[in-house]
C-alpha cells in the first residue's frame, strides 16, 4: 500500500514538476537504477567526462594519450603545491558544470543528488576520502550569509555520503575560516590571485588539528588550485601533515 502511494506521489510530482535536465532543459526520463541521474538527461550524461588514469597527481586533470613517465601538467606547473595529492571526479564542463552552477547560483539544492551520483561513479576520489577528515573550503561569512549556504560544504557532504559516511571513517569538519574577502578573484590574473590568497585562510576558532589524521580539502572546482593550496598552507601551519585535495570538477 505504502509503495503504491509512493509511486503515485512520484508520478504526481513528475507531472507537476517534470524533471528537467540542468544543462539542456530537456525532459529527463526516470531511470530504473537507483543511481540514475535525476536532473541530467541521457544525452548530456553521455557527454560527462569522468576522469580516469593517467592523470596529474596535483590537480587530477587527465593526461590524454601520453605514455607514462615524468610529466609536468600545464594546469599546475607553477603551483608549488603544499598538499600531497589532488583528485577530481569529472571535467568541469557540460552537464557537470551546469549541476554546480545550479547549486551555486540558482539555489538548486536538488542538484546535490546528482552531484553525489557523480562521486559514486568516481572510485578513485572516494578512495582518497575514506578514513579522512573532509575540510570544505570556507566562504567569507558575508558571502555565505548572502547565499544562505556554503556549496563547498554541501559538496563535501556528497563526497562523505558517496564514500560510505562514518562507517567508512569519513567526517566533515569546518576547520578553516576565510579571513579576507576575495570577492572578484575571477577577474584577477594568476599572480595577483595567488598574492591575495596567501593569507586568506586561518584556522576556525576552536579547530583542533591532529598530525596523525588524514585531511582532505574539498571544493566544487579546481581552477588554478591557488585557493586550495592556500587552504592547505593554513592547515599545514596549524599542524596538519597529511593533506590531500578533492574537487568535483576540473576546469
- Any bridge partners for residue 216, and if so which? 134, 244
Q: DSSP letter string over 21-64? A: -TTT-PBPPPPSSTT--SSS-HHHHHT--B--SSB-TTT--B--
Q: How many residues bind Zn ion (CB under 5 A)?
A: 13
Choose the stretch contacting Zn ion; rule: CB under 5 A; options: 17-25, 138-146, 147-155, 199-207: 17-25
Give the nearest distance from C-beta 218 to Zn ion in angstroms: 17
* CA end-to-end distance (rounded Å), the chain: 47
- Any bridge partners for residue 176, and if so which? 203
Considering only residues 68 to 127 of the shown chain, the ones binding Zn ion according to CB under 5 A are 73, 75-76
Q: Are 112 and 84 in contact (CB under 8 A)?
A: no
Which ranges of the chain would DSSP assign to H, the alpha helix?
A: 2-16, 42-46, 94-105, 111-120, 123-129, 141-147, 151-163, 190-197, 226-237
Give the nearest distance from C-beta 225 to Zn ion in angstroms: 8
Q: Are 85 and 244 in contact (CB under 8 A)?
A: yes
Residue 175 CB neighbours (<10 A)? 24
Among 37, 44, 62, 231, binds Zn ion (CB under 5 A): 44
Q: Per rule CB under 5 A, is residue 213 in the interface with Zn ion?
A: no
Among 56, 128, 197, 243, binds Zn ion (CB under 5 A): 56
Q: Per rule CB under 5 A, is residue 58 in the interface with Zn ion?
A: yes
Choose the stretch contacting Zn ion; rule: CB under 5 A; options: 21-29, 62-70, 107-115, 116-124: 21-29
Considering only residues 128 to 157 of the shown chain, the ones binding Zn ion according to CB under 5 A are none
Q: Per rule CB under 5 A, is residue 240 in the interface with Zn ion?
A: no
Q: Per rule CB under 5 A, is residue 24 in the interface with Zn ion?
A: yes
List residues near Zn ion by CB under 5 A. Answer: 21, 23-24, 26, 41, 44, 56, 58-59, 61, 73, 75-76
Amino acid at each position: 500500500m505504502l509503495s503504491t502511494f509512493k509511486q503515485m506521489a512520484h508520478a504526481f510530482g513528475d507531472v507537476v514538476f517534470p524533471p528537467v535536465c540542468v544543462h539542456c532543459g530537456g525532459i529527463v526520463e526516470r531511470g530504473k537504477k537507483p543511481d540514475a541521474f535525476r536532473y541530467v538527461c541521457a544525452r548530456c550524461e553521455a557527454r560527462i567526462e569522468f576522469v580516469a588514469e593517467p592523470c596529474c597527481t596535483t590537480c587530477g586533470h587527465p593526461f590524454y594519450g601520453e605514455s607514462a613517465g615524468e610529466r609536468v601538467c600545464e594546469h599546475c606547473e607553477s603551483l608549488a603545491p603544499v598538499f600531497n595529492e589532488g583528485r577530481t571526479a569529472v571535467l568541469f564542463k557540460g552537464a557537470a558544470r551546469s549541476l554546480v552552477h545550479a547549486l551555486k547560483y540558482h539555489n538548486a539544492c536538488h542538484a546535490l543528488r546528482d552531484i553525489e551520483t557523480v562521486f559514486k561513479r568516481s572510485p578513485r576520489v572516494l578512495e582518497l576520502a575514506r578514513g579522512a577528515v573532509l575540510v570544505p573550503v570556507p566562504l567569507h561569512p558575508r558571502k555565505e550569509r548572502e547565499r544562505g549556504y556554503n556549496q563547498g560544504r554541501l559538496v563535501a557532504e556528497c563526497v562523505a555520503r558517496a564514500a560510505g559516511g562514518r562507517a567508512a571513517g569519513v567526517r566533515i569538519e569546518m576547520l578553516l575560516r576565510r579571513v579576507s574577502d576575495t570577492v572578484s578573484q575571477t577577474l584577477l590574473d594568476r599572480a595577483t590571485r595567488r598574492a591575495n590568497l596567501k593569507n586568506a585562510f586561518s584556522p576556525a576558532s576552536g579547530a583542533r588539528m591532529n598530525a596523525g589524521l588524514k585531511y582532505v580539502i574539498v571544493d566544487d572546482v579546481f581552477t588554478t588550485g591557488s585557493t586550495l593550496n592556500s587552504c592547505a598552507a593554513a592547515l599545514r601551519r596549524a599542524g596538519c601533515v597529511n593533506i590531500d585535495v578533492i574537487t568535483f570538477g576540473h576546469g
